[in-house]
Amino acid sequence: MDPLDVLTNLSMVAPHFQAIFTADERKVCGYEVLGRYQVGNKFMSLGPFFSDESVPDEYRAEVDDLVVKKAIEYWLEREVTPQLFINRNPNLLMRDNGESLLELLLGYEEKGFSLSKLVLEIREHDFVGDIEQLNHLLTYYRTFGIKVAVDNVGNGTSNLDRIGLLAPDFLKFDLHMLRKSNVHTSHQDVLYSLSLLARKIGAAMLYENIETLYQLQYAWRNGGRYYQGYYLQNPTSEFVQEEILTEQLKAEIQQFIEHEKRKIQNIYQLREHIQNLVQELLVKYKKLFTGDELLEVVSHHLTDFTFRIYICDEDGFQQSANHVKTSNGWELQLEYYNKNWSFRPYFLENIMKMKLEQRGILSDLYSDIETGEVIRTFSFPINQKNYLFIDLTYDFLYEKSALY
């Protein structure tokens, strides 16, 4: 696309709207406003134009403003009042401290457009200035009812501290990376961490670029309240009917619910199976004197589903060696004796839970530091002071449908 063609044919610039759906009501709640340029009967994305830094800032801002004006004017003509998500390059926004955009928006507020219906999308990782200054501007915008979304979170360059400082109302997660198998697991771990951040700062999670049913399920399972993407609705020149996907989403979410319930049942049954076995073994071998003696005997009964077992006290100090399964049988790693693991997330919380409830705990999935494999750990109170830890193999978890 030749930028000069765009600048000399501004009448061909038009907004398109991509619907955003809610998980709770399964309806359209808003639209992302996307710039398009008409060529004949086709509309081309203005994304390349806006990202072309050879185009002077004032020209890109002019076209951006035009898209916003036309979008709001269309909104004013409709009876429905959905939210409008507009994109802004934070560097261009700060060029005049956001004054021109705010002046534009206030002009339309006088005509009946509620600024509480506007969500300003920025990409935090694109911003090269003083993040405190950007934060001050966004805080000022919020006094007018404008909401803020940080876009393209999870692309690998997002800064969690900066996102936390901006405290956006929405975090937009890009799911296109899930289609690449070589980054599948690691990218899911990153998105999971970011979803925890969203919960901490009170931001709603909006998943975009949903192109498959699997991605929709992933978004639902990982706390997504809002969904957007070609699987749901292509960008169009007009608003779509609010309940266009209500029944479809109800049916698909019902499938997700049934799948999740089966998963939880499988994990519960797995925990009960291991707990019953461990309880029997501990009763049978309760007279063994040291932790290593106990593990030497117990390990042979657990060899079908574990690759490492050890014992810690209630403060996290290891009271045994690591007993590790190798091709030559079980081996002892004596260097692990007396190491402390209390720094691990949830370690002490789980110890206290086992101590009070006298039941075992099956951990969430995580990547083992030494093997790199995705595993779970089953832990169980041996007595009031010591706790048995059993690391379960990937193959066993796969067999028991516990890899979720």
pLDDT bucket at 200, cuts 50 / 70 / 90:
confident
Give the domain ranges of the chain: 3-228, 259-399
pLDDT tens figures, 60-99: 999 999 999 999 999 999 999 999 999 999 999 999 999 9
- What pTM does this model have? 0.86
CA distance 200 to 366: 21
pLDDT above 50 for 161: yes
pLDDT above 50 for 182: no
pLDDT tens figures, 343-354: 988 899 999 999
Question: What is the token pair recorded at 36?
Answer: 């398009």
pLDDT at 315: 96
CA distances for 50 relative to 241, 376, 380, angstroms? 30, 46, 57
pLDDT at 181: 47
Strand-pair partners of 14 = 36
- The listed CATH number (3.40.50.300, 3.30.450.20, 3.40.50.1100, 3.90.79.10) that belongs to domain 259-399: 3.30.450.20
pLDDT above 80 for 16: yes
CA distance 338 to 315: 11
DSSP state of 372: -
CA distances for 187 relative to 12, 59, 261, 365, 368, angstroms? 39, 36, 25, 14, 16
Query: Which of these ranges, 236-240, 292-296, 399-403, has the smallest mean pLDDT?
Result: 399-403
pLDDT at 251: 97
* CA neighbor of 28 nearest in space, from 246, 181, 332, 258: 246
Residues 216-241 have a mean pLDDT of 94
The identity of residue 297, as a single letter, is: V
pLDDT tens figures, 375-384: 999 999 999 8
pLDDT tens figures, 298-319: 999 999 999 999 999 999 999 9
CA distances for 345 relative to 132, 341, 377, angstroms? 31, 9, 13
pLDDT at 139: 96
pLDDT tens figures, 238-274: 999 999 999 999 999 999 999 999 989 999 999 999 9
pLDDT bucket at 159, cuts 50 / 70 / 90:
confident
pLDDT above 70 for 33: yes
> pLDDT exceeding 70 applies to what percent of the chain?
95
pLDDT bucket at 188, cuts 50 / 70 / 90:
low
pLDDT above 60 for 185: no
Across the chain, mean pLDDT equals: 91
pLDDT at 125: 84
pLDDT above 90 for 207: yes
pLDDT above 70 for 155: no
Hey, do 3-228 and 259-399 end up sharing a CATH topology, with the first three levels equal? no
Angle, CA of 348, 404 and 268, to the nearest 5°? 65
CATH number for the region 3-228 comes to 3.20.20.450
Question: What is the token pair recorded at 377?
Answer: 């750990």
pLDDT at 158: 61
CA distance 101 to 99: 6
Question: What is the token pair recorded at 33?
Answer: 């406003």
